[in-house]
Amino acid sequence: MQITITNEDIEYAEKILLPANKHFDEERRNFITNLDTIDLQAVPGSGKTTALLAKLIILEKKMPFPDGSGVLILSHTNTAVEEIQSKLQTIAPKLFNFPNFVGTIQSFTDTFLALPYYAHVHKTHPYRIDDDIYFRRCELALKYKYSSLTWFSYRPHKVQMTTLLTAKIDQNGCAKCINGLKNLKCSTAIKIAQFKYDNVKKGFLTYNDAFEFANFYINDNPRIVSIFQKRFKYVFVDEMQDMHSHQIKLLDALFYTSGHTDEQQTITVFQRIGDVNQSIFGENDSDNSDGSTEKADNSGKADWKPREHLTLLGSHRLSPCTAAIVSSFAVEPNAIQGLRKNADGTAIDIKPYLFVYKKENIKTVIKKFAHLIYKLQNEGKLPMTGSYAAVGWRKSILDDAADNKLGISDYYDSLCAAAASTKINYSSLTDHLLAVDPHKKHLETMRKSILNALLHILYMQKIQDKHGRYYTIRTLFKYLKEETDIYELFKRNLFRWCKQRINSEPVEQTIHNIQAFLPDFLQAVSLDNNLININNDTYLFITNPTTIIQNNKPTGQEQINTYSISGIDISIKTVHAIKGQTVTGLLYMETYNSSMHESNRLVDCFIHKKFRKTAKTKKSGMMYKAAKTVYVGFSRPTHLLCFAVQKERFDKYLSNIDRAVWDIIDI
Q: Which residues participate in the annotated binding site for ATP?
A: 42-49
Can the peptide bond before residue 64 be classed as cis, meaning omega within 30 degrees of 0?
yes
Give me the helix-helix angle, 473-483 and 487-502, nearest 10°: 140
**Number of Cβ atoms within 10 Å of the Cβ of 145:** 12
Q: How many angstroms separate the CA atoms of 619 and 131, rounded?
A: 31
What are the binding residues? 42-49
Phi-psi region of 230 (alpha: psi -120 to 50; beta: other; left: phi over 0): alpha
Report helix, strand or coil for 349: coil
Total residues belonging to the chain: 667
In 579-656, DSSP assigns E strands to: 583-589, 592-593, 596-597, 637-646
Q: Which of 482, 469, 424 is nearest to 125 (CA)?
A: 469
DSSP alpha helix (H) spans, 358-464: 365-378, 408-411, 429-434, 443-460
Q: Which of 149, 202, 152 is nearest to 179 (CA)?
A: 152
Amino acid letter at 241? Q
Q: How many angstroms separate the CA atoms of 174 and 194, rounded?
A: 8
Amino acid letter at 195? F
Q: How many angstroms separate the CA atoms of 354 and 646, rounded?
A: 10
C-alpha distance across the termini of the chain, in Å: 66
Phi-psi region of 119 (alpha: psi -120 to 50; beta: other; left: phi over 0): alpha
Give the max Cα distance, the chain: 79
Contact present, 417 and 572 (Cβ < 8 Å):
no
Report helix, strand or coil for 463: coil
- E strand or H helix at 162, and its extent? helix 157-166
Report helix, strand or coil for 655: coil
Amino acid letter at 354? L
Report helix, strand or coil for 606: helix
Partners of residue 150 on adjacent β-strands: none
550 to 272, 509, 546, 559, 573: CA distances (angstroms): 36, 18, 10, 9, 15
47 to 53, 269, 278, 510, 581: CA distances (angstroms): 10, 21, 15, 43, 12
Burial of 19 (0-12, 13-18, 19+ CB in 10 A): exposed
Who contacts 557 (Cβ-Cβ below 8 Å, separation ≥6)?
Answer: none
Q: What is the DSSP letter of 470?
A: B
Q: Which of 521, 483, 452 is nearest to 127 (CA)?
A: 452
Strand order in the sheet with 388-392: 562-565, 568-574, 388-392, 583-589, 637-646, 353-357, 663-666
Contact present, 426 and 621 (Cβ < 8 Å):
no
Half-sphere exposure in the Cβ direction for 127 (13 Å, CA): 24
Q: How many angstroms separate the CA atoms of 273 and 239, rounded?
A: 6
Torsion angles phi and psi, residue 394, rounded to 5: -115, 140
